[in-house]
């Protein structure tokens, strides 16, 4: 079998900085190879939210005849879709090179059509003014494959992207793209322009208005981008009905003037058509959407929604404001785009071994498990200059069957192989007393808990769970902060001395739990956020629940250098290698620790982080998120400590690289946790129902969800309650309505509105 395009170019494209995805042979669409056949890949857009991984490229390279697509966002492509006029296609290419930069990346599929690739300053939404298009955010284009019409590979006359580093491409932005589009379209003769106003871009931003009714100024401004240059009848009727739906009979003059722009306009026919229009759901949103696709950008102060007065308050505004809490710091302190990277040293070696042996590799969950395991092994041996220890609580979240159990199995295997199984706790914690008994036996210990959400549900429910279960979470909370001191055991009212108080000096309890999103977020209540019990957990939600399967995995043997490294780390600085079982000092014995220094740069970075967090805490005062913000610096320093010791167990130093990685990692997933709390965690039944319904609508994405689909997904609700909640969400602007076309009919759908900034 010949080598696929993915096998030939995938790794080099990844190294050059591009985000890629698999293209099914014989077409231009993303695809997946499953059970011996190529199938559509409708959820391909997930790749726009994160970098491509080496594991993915390796998997895709084994798929027969796999082509390569480039995901828009970091790059933009000018697609000149002109087939009948080669000179015009060349003139528009030359205009692009003049206005946007002389890019070396020119792709030819079916000549004279052509595509030029640029780098973006910031990702922006694509623009289509057929037959020219600027592809960007939410879109993709084929880089390497066989063209379905010519039967020949796409050609790169100069240099292909696999030879071009992303940074070498000319930089453009949304304004430059729009300006080029205006000039390019002027070169296109009318006979090559479309005569229909059909929707042409799936990535057009959602219209801020959520009602059928518009305002006269906004409709007039939008229509300037929808000239009636002898449009087809269906488009003419569509605009007329939309104007009437937006403005009622007051829009008649506007429609008459717009219709008169066409040479074929007949006044009597226009008058008769206006009287026949009976718009139901079509209105302002249709006109705004079509105009935005063609470059319209409403002024920030323009009122688009004519259904409410600007100062009108919704009766549920208090509840909705609390549900929609967004920290103003999110707007004031822009965060760089996050890309998951695996540290080096023992953390990286253990994570890489997990990934190379996994049937469904989960990089984020494997990294979280590795950090916990190494943190437990180095417990009571190393500390930071501020006396922080390596005890971690991590929760890995992914759906059932996604491969989240593999990392726990690997940790069990390598610790047994290294003679360090004494650091492993049981698979379950039966009671608070049982947890303390395990720590008394081994003060530096790792518990790996499956179905952690179900465990948390019981441990956090103080009303219905027995005391010995709720004590588990209480003890975990106290043990977390006691790692640098002494955990004092419980006092018992006994006379014979059999139940003496059992103290533990500098306990190092690490917990790695795995769970599904439903079980984890369903287990939490607002009190768990406010009291800080949630804030002690580093919550890691997988970005891909079902990664591509690696069918080649089989028997495995831990690498000798990984085993030796774990043994060296567990022995502490200055110790000899070997079987170290039982070397950890007892629970009531004072321990001597190595203080891990940090470079001046790293120290300055953590000091700057402290100042940033102080400002964010002040801005968030009174919200449920202060507890999470307050732990970011502490958890980041713990991770930097673990990575530094993993890099050099004998003479560790926390470097600026360790600090930058740990801070970026914890900041990103703390923000993800706060967003998830906002979406899922509720204190009342009404609040829970509203959030669950909003989450169903959010999960449907841009395509929206119909009322019947929403009903099927929320059968726990009474019909009247469901309708009331949906109406509340619509009137508050959290949810918008629109239309979805199928082969037989159109259906109204609900979509989540774009996130509002609290600084607005």
Residue (of 207, 208, 203, 200) closest to 235 by Cα position: 200
Question: What tokens were used for 675?
Answer: 């967003």
Residue (of 215, 566, 624) closest to 417 by Cα position: 566
For residues 40 and 21, the answer to whether their CB atoms sit within 8 Å is: no
Using CB atoms within 10 Å of the CB of residue 683, give its burial: 0 to 12 exposed, 13 to 18 middle, 19+ buried. Answer: middle
From residue 42, how far is each of 30, 334, 465, 627 by CA, in Å?
8, 31, 43, 38
Residue (of 736, 735, 690, 747) closest to 716 by Cα position: 690
DSSP label of 94? H
DSSP label of 262? S
Structure confidence by residue, pLDDT tens digits, 352-405? 999 999 988 999 999 999 999 999 999 889 999 999 999 999 999 888 777 888
What pLDDT does 316 receive?
A: 42
> Before 112, cis peptide (omega within 30)?
yes
Q: For residue 274, how many C-alpha atoms fall within 13 Å in the half-sphere facing its CB?
A: 21
Report how far residue 285's alpha carbon sits from residue 421's, in angstroms, rounded to the nearest whole number.
63
Report how far residue 465's alpha carbon sits from residue 357's, in angstroms, rounded to the nearest whole number.
39
pTM (2 d.p.): 0.54
What pLDDT does 507 receive?
A: 92
What pLDDT does 307 receive?
A: 66
Report how far residue 568's alpha carbon sits from residue 650's, in angstroms, rounded to the nearest whole number.
8
Residue (of 714, 598, 747) closest to 662 by Cα position: 598
Report how far residue 285's alpha carbon sits from residue 130's, in angstroms, rounded to the nearest whole number.
22
From residue 235, how far is each of 195, 218, 438, 610 by CA, in Å?
8, 20, 73, 58
> Before 131, cis peptide (omega within 30)?
yes
Question: What tokens were used for 302?
Answer: 């323009």
β pairing state of 537-541 and 594-596: unpaired
Would you call 705 helix, strand, or coil by DSSP? Answer: strand
For residues 649 and 573, the answer to whether their CB atoms sit within 8 Å is: yes
152 Cβ neighbours under 8 A, 6+ residues apart: 146
Q: What's the distance, Cα to Cα, between the start and end of the chain in Å?
A: 58
β pairing state of 114-120 and 106-107: antiparallel
Q: Please give the helix or strand (H or E) that residue 320 lies within, else none.
A: helix 317-323
CA 32 to chain centre: 21
What pLDDT does 334 receive?
A: 44
Residue (of 700, 722, 702) closest to 711 by Cα position: 722
What pLDDT does 142 receive?
A: 96
φ and ψ at 487, to 5 degrees? Answer: -90, 115
Report how far residue 277's alpha carbon sits from residue 41's, in angstroms, rounded to the nearest whole number.
40
Report how far residue 239's alpha carbon sits from residue 254's, in angstroms, rounded to the nearest whole number.
11
Report how far residue 684's alpha carbon sits from residue 525's, in angstroms, rounded to the nearest whole number.
9
CA 293 to chain centre: 25
What pLDDT does 496 receive?
A: 54
Rg (CA), the chain: 30
CA 417 to chain centre: 36
What pLDDT does 484 receive?
A: 85
Report how far residue 715's alpha carbon sits from residue 704's, in angstroms, rounded to the nearest whole number.
18
Q: Which residues pair with 384 in a beta bridge?
A: 596
What pLDDT does 369 receive?
A: 95
Q: How many residues are listed for the chain in this entry?
A: 760
* Residues of the chain with confidence (pLDDT) below 70: 1-2, 35, 193-211, 230, 281, 295, 300, 307-337, 490-500, 521-533, 574-590, 622-624, 680-687, 728, 731-733, 742-744, 755-760
Would you call 143 helix, strand, or coil by DSSP? Answer: strand
CA 136 to chain centre: 18
- Helices 233-247 and 267-276 sit at what angle, rounded to 10 degrees? 50
Report how far residue 707's alpha carbon sits from residue 697's, in angstroms, rounded to the nearest whole number.
10
Question: Sign (positive/negative) of CA torsion 376, 377, 381, 385?
Answer: negative
Report how far residue 342's alpha carbon sits from residue 732's, in angstroms, rounded to the nearest whole number.
42
Tokens 């022995």 appear where?
571
At residue 528's C-alpha, the angle toward residues 434 and 476, to 5°, is: 25
- Helices 406-417 and 345-357 sit at what angle, rounded to 10 degrees? 120
């Amino acid at each position: 079998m010949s080598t696929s395009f993915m096998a030939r170019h995938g790794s080099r494209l990844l190294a050059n900085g591009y985000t890629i995805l698999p293209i099914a042979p014989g077409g231009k669409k993303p695809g997946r190879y499953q059970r011996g056949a190529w199938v559509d890949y409708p959820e391909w857009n997930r790749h726009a939210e994160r970098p491509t991984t080496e594991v993915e490229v390796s998997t895709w390279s084994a798929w027969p005849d796999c082509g390569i697509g480039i995901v828009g966002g970091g790059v933009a492509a000018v697609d000149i879709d002109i087939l009948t006029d080669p000179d015009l296609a060349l003139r528009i290419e030359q205009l692009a090179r003049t206005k946007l930069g002389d890019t070396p990346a020119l792709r030819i599929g079916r000549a004279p059509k052509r595509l030029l690739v640029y780098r973006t300053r910031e990702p922006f939404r694509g623009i289509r003014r057929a037959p020219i298009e600027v592809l960007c955010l939410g879109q993709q284009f084929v880089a390497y494959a066989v063209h379905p019409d010519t039967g020949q590979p796409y050609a790169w006359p100069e240099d292909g992207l696999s030879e071009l580093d992303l940074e070498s491409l000319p930089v453009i932005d949304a304004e430059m793209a729009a300006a080029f589009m205006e000039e390019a379209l002027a070169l296109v003769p009318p006979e090559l322009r479309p005569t229909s106003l059909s929707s042409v871009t799936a990535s057009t931003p959602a219209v801020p208005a959520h009602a059928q009714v518009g305002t006269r100024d906004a409709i007039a401004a939008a229509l300037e981008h929808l000239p009636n240059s002898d449009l087809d009848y269906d488009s003419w009727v569509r605009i007329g009905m939309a104007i009437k739906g937006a403005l009622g009979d007051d829009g008649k003059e506007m429609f008459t003037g717009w219709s008169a722009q066409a040479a074929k306009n007949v006044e009597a026919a226009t008058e008769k058509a206006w009287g026949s229009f009976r718009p139901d759901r079509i209105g302002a949103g249709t006109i705004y959407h079509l105009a935005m696709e063609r470059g319209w950008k409403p002024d920030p102060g323009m009122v688009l929604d004519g259904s409410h007065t600007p100062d009108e308050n919704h009766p549920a505004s208090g509840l909705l404001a609390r549900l929609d809490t967004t920290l103003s710091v999110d707007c004031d302190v822009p965060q760089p785009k996050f890309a998951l990277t695996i540290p080096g040293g023992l953390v990286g070696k253990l994570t890489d071994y997990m990934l190379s042996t996994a049937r469904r590799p989960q990089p984020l969950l494997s990294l979280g498990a590795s950090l916990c395991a190494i943190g437990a092994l180095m417990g009571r041996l190393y500390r930071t200059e501020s006396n922080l220890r390596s005890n971690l609580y991590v929760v890995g979240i992914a759906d059932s069957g996604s491969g989240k159990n593999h990392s726990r199995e690997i940790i069990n295997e390598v610790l047994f192989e290294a003679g360090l199984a004494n650091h492993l706790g049981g698979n379950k914690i039966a009671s608070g007393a049982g947890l303390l008994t395990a720590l008394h036996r081994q003060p530096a210990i790792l518990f790996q808990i499956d179905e952690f959400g179900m465990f948390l549900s019981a441990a956090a429910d103080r009303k219905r769970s027995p005391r010995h279960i709720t004590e588990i979470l209480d003890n975990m909370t106290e043990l977390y902060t006691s790692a640098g001191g002494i955990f004092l055991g419980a006092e018992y009212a006994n006379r014979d001395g059999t139940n003496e108080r059992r103290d533990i000096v500098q306990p190092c309890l690490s917990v790695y739990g795995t769970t599904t999103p439903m079980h984890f977020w369903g287990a939490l209540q607002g009190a768990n956020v406010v009291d800080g019990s949630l804030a002690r957990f580093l919550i890691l939600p997988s970005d891909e629940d079902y990664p591509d399967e690696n069918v080649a995995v089989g028997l495995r043997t831990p690498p000798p250098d990984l085993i030796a490294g774990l043994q060296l780390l567990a022995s502490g600085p200055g110790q000899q290698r070997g079987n170290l079982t039982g070397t950890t000092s007892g629970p009531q014995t004072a321990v001597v620790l190595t203080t891990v220094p940090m470079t001046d740069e790293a120290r300055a970075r953590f000091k700057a982080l402290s100042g940033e967090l102080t400002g964010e805490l002040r801005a968030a005062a009174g919200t449920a998120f202060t507890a999470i913000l307050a732990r970011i610096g502490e958890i980041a320093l713990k991770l930097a400590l673990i990575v530094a010791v993993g890099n050099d167990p004998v003479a560790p130093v926390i470097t600026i690289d360790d600090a930058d990685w740990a801070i970026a990692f914890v900041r990103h997933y703390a923000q993800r946790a706060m967003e998830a709390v906002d979406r899922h965690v509720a204190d009342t039944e009404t609040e829970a129902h509203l959030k669950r319904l909003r989450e169903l609508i959010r999960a449907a994405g841009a395509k929206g969800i119909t009322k019947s689909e929403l009903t099927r997904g929320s059968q726990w609700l009474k019909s009247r309650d469901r309708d009331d909640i949906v109406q509340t969400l619509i009137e508050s602007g959290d949810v918008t309505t629109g239309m979805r076309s199928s082969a037989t009919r159109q259906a109204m759908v609900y979509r989540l509105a774009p996130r509002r900034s609290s600084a607005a």
